[in-house]
Amino acid sequence: MSAEFHNLEVSLKEFLIESQRDSYNSKNINFYKYNNLKVFMDVKKNRMPHFIIRVGISESMHNLLNCEKLSGGLGSDERYIYRWFEKTSVKTELNEAWKISLKFETVQMKNEVE
C-alpha cells in the first residue's frame, strides 16, 4: 500500500516545485520544506472517500470526489493542491489508493475480531 502513496507524494512534490519555479517570486521558495510531505488516507477517521496532505505541521483533508476541503489548511500551498488534483492520473491513483485502504482496513478489522 505504501508504494501507491509514495508515488502520489513524489507526484505532488514535483508539481509543487515546478509550479512555484515558474512564479515571479521563485528566489524565496524553500524546496526542502517538501521533504516531509505526506499523502495518506485514514479510513478509521472518516469513511467518506478522502485524502490527507501533510506538509510540516500543516495538514488538510480533502474530499476525493471534488477536492473540496473538509478540514485543516496548507496556507499558500493549498491553491496548488487543487491544480494537482485536476490531473487525470492523480485522480485515478487517489481512487485506487482509497480502494486499497478500504480493503486493508476491512482485513485489519476482521483480524481484530478473530
Span 96-105, pLDDT tens digits: 999 998 887 7
Question: Which pLDDT score, from 0 to 100, does residue 61 have?
Answer: 97
C-alpha cell at 27: 528566489
The CA-based angle 16-22-26, given to 5 degrees, is 85
CB 71 within 8 A of CB 43: no
**Taking the model in full, what pTM does it have?**
0.83
Mean pLDDT across the chain: 85
Element (H, E) at 17: helix 2-21
Q: So what's the pLDDT on residue 30?
A: 63
pLDDT, mean of residues 66-74:
96
**Digit-coded pLDDT (tens) for 25-64:** 555 566 677 888 999 999 888 889 999 999 989 999 999 9
Given a contact cutoff of 8 angstroms between Cβ atoms, the answer to whether 16 and 90 are in contact is no
